[in-house]
Amino acid sequence: MNITVTVNGQAYTRDVEPRLLLVHFLRDELGLTGTHWGCDTSNCGACVVWLDEAPVKSCTVLAVMADGKDVRTVEGLERDGVLDPVQQGFTECHGLQCGFCTPGMMMTARWLLDGNADPSESDIREALSGQICRCTGYENIVRAVRWAAEHPASETEGAAP
């Protein structure tokens, strides 16, 4: 099937098999390997991207379902060489260890902050509850999201990545 998907603001047209998952479209067809492929069963959340401004686990979405839609990946968080506050927060607060879950965590955190600029610890934990981190115990991830909430983009612009 011929599809056109806008990813991080750029339109891509490809001929794909109807059974191709969005995670494989992003990684294999477009070379955007920031979206990680973990469990393939929607349990881990490493593959979270935005589909028309809503977080989805891209291992459960067919690429053809994204035809005509906007997709945002972790590569789309950084703007003009400046890290998104969520990315900066993960750096400042040591919100990652192995880094495998990090792209999905960041995409969910950005979605949360876009809808709730001052989330409580409980709000953060609930938003991230559909994602698994096997390394950190979540404490520094929650701190990273709070850091991002306390340092909106206007304050982090120009910060060294």
pLDDT of residue 148: 98
Are 58 and 103 found together in one domain? no
pLDDT of residue 155: 55
Half-sphere exposure of 79 (CA within 13 A, CB side): 11
pLDDT of residue 161: 43
The answer to whether position 161 is within a domain reads no
pLDDT of residue 63: 98
The answer to whether position 150 is within a domain reads yes
pLDDT of residue 154: 60
pLDDT of residue 53: 95
The answer to whether position 34 is within a domain reads yes
Mapped to the 3 state alphabet, what secondary structure does 30-79 carry?
A: CCCCCCCCCCCCCCCCCCEEEECCEEEECCCCEHHHHCCCEEECHHHCCE
Are 9 and 46 found together in one domain? yes
Cα–Cα dist 137/154, whole Å: 30
Are 12 and 41 found together in one domain? yes
Instruction: Please count the structural domains in the chain.
Output: 2
The answer to whether position 129 is within a domain reads yes
Q: Find the CATH number of the domain harbouring 140.
A: 1.10.150.120
In eight-state DSSP terms, residue 12 is E
Axis crossing angle, helix 139-150 with helix 102-115, rounded to the nearest 10? 40
Is residue 13 helix, strand or coil? Answer: strand
CB 134 within 8 A of CB 124: no
The answer to whether position 80 is within a domain reads no
Q: Which domain holds residue 6?
A: 2-74
Per-position pLDDT tens, the chain of length 161? 999 999 999 999 999 999 999 999 999 999 999 999 988 778 889 999 999 999 999 999 999 999 999 999 999 999 999 999 999 999 999 998 889 999 999 999 999 999 999 999 999 999 999 899 888 889 999 999 999 999 987 654 544 44
pTM over 0.85: yes
Is residue 6 helix, strand or coil? Answer: strand
From 74, 106, 126, the end of a domain falls on 74
From 74, 96, 117, the end of a domain falls on 74
